Amino acid sequence: MVYEFKKHDMVVTFALRDDTKRIVQLALGSETRTFELEEFTDFWLTMIEEGRKATSAYLESLGWSSRHRSKNDGLGRPRISDGKGDGA
């Protein structure tokens, strides 16, 4: 199975090696890395976790906190709940 992300010049290929070992080939541009499936899954989850940490730190540096997120929808607008709008 092959997934192409042309915008980023990235190709992810899932395959079997020796009919027993599942591998993932990650190609970014002309650089290719081969991972066992479990290793790739750990790598991808780590990327997601680190990305979320970086995003949270950035938002906090802008003055956003979890208190803001609970009151707003994240776009600077109050959250509409229980189907109630502005009364119109």
Predicted TM-score (pTM) of the model is 0.58
Mark the ranges of the chain whose per-residue pLDDT is less than 70.
65-88
Domain limits, the chain: 2-71
Two structure tokens written together for 60 = 């906090």
- Predicted local confidence at residue 18, as pLDDT: 84
- Predicted local confidence at residue 64, as pLDDT: 78
- Predicted local confidence at residue 70, as pLDDT: 53
- Predicted local confidence at residue 72, as pLDDT: 52
